């Protein structure tokens, strides 16, 4: 018979391996039922032998008590921010600046291009391979202690696959678009406040004082950088990404190495094309000089490295004034409210009309004519109002009233059974 301690260790190793395959590699080799059986056996054994429970056991992802106040974490290595570019011309200028700074006008520079995830920057510190501290970026020097909250993220390992003395992985926590939409729907149905975008939801989720509440949110994380590193040598950004993956940390498979700035420019276009089809929000790409020795020679200036920069895609959200609400009649007779906006550029297009869908949507948003609204436009989707900026109300806004007669044919309108749609009952209505 095997001793409980041996069986426990064996189970942990197995579960860690399956976690890694499932959450990091996206390539599970057992069914959920089989996985649950292993987990249940481990929970049962640990309950019978509480002295054998360790902080890096897969059972320890959730369960910490709510906190009163977030503590602070000093970043031993500052968490920098990035400068940004918005055009190919600026990209080429940036490379010229790098060469000038290095005083090597003909130098060939290789780069790593990564997606710029629109989430929350986090740091996860591992001591002897065991997860010890989690922190937000904060002001770059001091962040919030979110050790217990970050720990609940399924793809974050509690133990690395190797054990460097100290290793601080840095990356972006985020919530995929599908999880964001589902959660917002639930909040809206419960009459609670919804979130404007996945980034706000991610931030709100990591700042739950009850880690159990964070565990309920569909958080994920991609790593792309390091802070404190003791016991591992890293010669380039590409090698850094490989090291992160070898340690069992999740990295994005959209990152590529480019040998020239022409390749970089082509990759930026590719990423921009892919943007609407990705399961998570990216707001651009990050361009990093690959070679570590070159990075060191380039150094940093005012809180951002010279060797890396962001390439920003056009924003998909913008605020503007809702000047009026018009009513159009569809082919089915349903009256559809259309918002008339003070024109605003969003995602490279001027938006002056938004759909307000139906009666329910207007009530849910609580929108009034004259309100300042947050508008979103993604890909080919018709622009929509995400929320009303209530702080900007002046008192001059007015509630929208539905017309009593069809704007096309003058027939008195009716409300359908579920009181969602208002429609024109006239079969002969020209609309």
What is the three-class DSSP state of 71?
A: coil
Question: What Å distances lie between residue 416 and 115, 132, 358, 419, 428, CA to CA?
Answer: 46, 57, 12, 5, 19
Which one, 146 or 286, has the nearer CB to ligand IVH? 286
Q: Which of residues 126-155 bind ligand IVH (CB under 6 A)?
A: 137
- Scanning 18-26, 52-60, 67-75, 305-313 for contacts with ligand IVH by CB under 6 A, the matching segment is 305-313
Round to whole Å and give the CA distance between 336 and 351. Answer: 18
Whose Cβ is closer to ligand IVH: residue 223's or residue 400's?
A: 223
Strand partners of residue 315: none
Phi and psi, residue 18, nearest 5°: -70, -40
Residue of 7, 36, 6 whose CA lies nearest to 19: 36
Number of residues written out for the chain? 431
Would you say 122 or 325 has its CB closer to ligand IVH?
122
84 versus 426: smaller Cβ distance to ligand IVH? 84
Q: SS3 of 361, please?
A: helix
Least distance in angstroms from the C-beta of 120 to ligand IVH = 7
Chosen residue from 46, 144, 172, 371 binding ligand IVH by CB under 6 A = 172
- Residue 59 vs 251, nearer CB to ligand IVH: 251
* Cα–Cα distance, 130 to 286 (Å, whole number): 29
Rounded to whole angstroms, how far apart are CA atoms 98 and 231? 30
Cα distances (Å, whole numbers) of residue 69 to 14, 72, 146, 152, 207 = 36, 10, 11, 18, 10
**Residue nearer to ligand IVH on the CB measure, 180 or 400:** 180
Which one, of 210, 134, 117, lies nearest residue 172 by Cα? 117
Phi, psi of 338 (to 5 degrees): -120, 130
Q: Which is nearer to ligand IVH, 304 or 411 (CB)?
A: 304
Q: Which of 10, 103, 116, 321 is catalytic?
A: 116
Burial of 191 (0-12, 13-18, 19+ CB in 10 A): exposed
Q: Which stretch binds ligand IVH (CB under 6 A): 77-85, 125-133, 226-234, 311-319?
A: 77-85
346 binds ligand IVH (CB under 6 A): no
- What whole-number distance in Å separates Cα of residue 311 and Cα of residue 84? 6
Torsion angle defined by CA atoms of residues 200, 205, 206 and 209, in that order, rounded to the nearest 10 degrees:
130
* Residues 17, 372: Cα–Cα separation, whole Å: 50
Smallest distance from ligand IVH to CB 89, Å = 21
Q: How far apart are CA 418 and CA 410, in angstroms?
A: 23
Residues 35, 56, 70, 81: which binds ligand IVH (CB under 6 A)? Answer: 81
* Nearest distance from C-beta of residue 174 to ligand IVH, angstroms: 9
If phi > 0 it is left, if psi is from -120 to 50 it is alpha, else beta; for residue 266 that is alpha
Cβ 121 to ligand IVH, closest distance in Å?
A: 3
Among 11, 42, 82, 329, contact with ligand IVH (rule: CB under 6 A) = 82
Q: Does 310 bind ligand IVH (CB under 6 A)?
A: yes
Distance CA 171, CA 202 (A): 13
Is 116 among the residues known to form the active site? yes
Number of residues that bind ligand IVH (CB under 6 A): 15
Q: Does 308 bind ligand IVH (CB under 6 A)?
A: yes
Q: Which stretch binds ligand IVH (CB under 6 A): 153-161, 304-312, 362-370, 411-419?
A: 304-312
80 binds ligand IVH (CB under 6 A): yes
**From 112-120, 265-273, 319-327, 332-340, span contacting ligand IVH (CB under 6 A):** 112-120
* Shortest CB 280 distance to ligand IVH, Å: 11
Question: Segment near ligand IVH (CB under 6 A), from 34-42, 93-101, 110-118, 315-323?
Answer: 110-118
Residue 305 is a binding residue for ligand IVH (CB under 6 A): yes
Residues in region 221-280 near ligand IVH by CB under 6 A: 224-225
For ligand IVH, the binding residue among 173, 286, 329, 421 (CB under 6 A) is: 286
Q: Cβ of residue 305: shortest distance to ligand IVH, in angstroms?
A: 5
The encoded tokens of residue 229 equal 């590193």
C-beta of 11 vs 121, nearer to ligand IVH: 121
- Interface residues with ligand IVH (CB under 6 A)? 80-82, 114, 116-117, 121, 137, 172, 224-225, 286, 305, 308, 310
Residues that are catalytic: 116
């Amino acid at each position: 018979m095997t001793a409980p301690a041996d069986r426990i260790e064996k189970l942990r190793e197995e579960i860690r391996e399956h976690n890694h395959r499932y959450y990091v590699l996206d390539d599970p080799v057992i069914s959920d039922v089989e996985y649950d059986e292993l987990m249940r056996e481990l929970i049962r054994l640990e309950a019978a032998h509480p002295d054998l429970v360790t902080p890096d056991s897969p059972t320890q992802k959730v369960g910490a008590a709510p906190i009163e106040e977030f503590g602070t974490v000093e970043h031993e290595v500052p968490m920098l921010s990035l400068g940004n570019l918005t055009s190919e011309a600026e990209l080429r200028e940036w490379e010229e600046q790098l060469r000038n700074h290095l005083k090597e006008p003909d130098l060939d520079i290789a780069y790593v291009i990564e997606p710029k995830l629109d989430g929350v920057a986090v740091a996860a510190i591992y001591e002897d391979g065991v997860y010890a501290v989690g922190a937000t970026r904060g002001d770059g020097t001091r962040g919030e202690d979110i050790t217990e909250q970050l720990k609940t993220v399924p793809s974050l390992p509690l133990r690395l696959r190797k054990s460097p003395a100290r290793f601080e992985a840095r990356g972006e926590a985020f919530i995929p678009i599908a999880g964001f939409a589902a959660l917002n729907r639930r909040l809206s149905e419960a009459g609670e406040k919804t979130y404007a975008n996945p980034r706000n939801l991610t931030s709100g989720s990591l700042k739950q004082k009850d880690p159990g509440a964070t565990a309920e949110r569909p958080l994920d994380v991609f790593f792309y950088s390091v802070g404190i590193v003791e016991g591992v040598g890293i010669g380039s950004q590409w090698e850094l990404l490989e090291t992160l993956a070898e340690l069992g940390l999740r990295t994005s498979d959209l990152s590529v190495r480019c040998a020239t700035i022409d390749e970089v420019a082509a990759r930026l276009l590719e990423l921009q094309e892919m943007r609407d089809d990705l399961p998570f929000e990216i707001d651009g790409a990050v361009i990093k000089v690959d070679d570590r020795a070159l990075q060191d020679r380039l150094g940093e200036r005012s809180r951002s490295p010279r060797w890396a920069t962001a390439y920003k895609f056009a924003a998909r959200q913008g605020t503007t004034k809702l000047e009026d609400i018009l009513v159009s009649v569809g082919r089915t007779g349903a009256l559809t409210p259309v918002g008339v906006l003070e024109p605003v550029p969003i995602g490279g297009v001027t938006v002056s009309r938004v759909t307000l869908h139906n009666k329910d949507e207007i009530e849910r948003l609580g929108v009034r004519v004259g309100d300042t609204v947050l508008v979103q436009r993604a890909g080919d989707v018709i622009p929509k109002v995400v929320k009303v900026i209530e702080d900007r109300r002046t008192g001059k806004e007015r509630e929208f009233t539905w017309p009593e007669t069809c704007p096309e044919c003058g027939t008195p309108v009716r409300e359908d059974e579920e009181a969602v749609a208002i429609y024109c009952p006239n079969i002969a209505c020209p609309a």
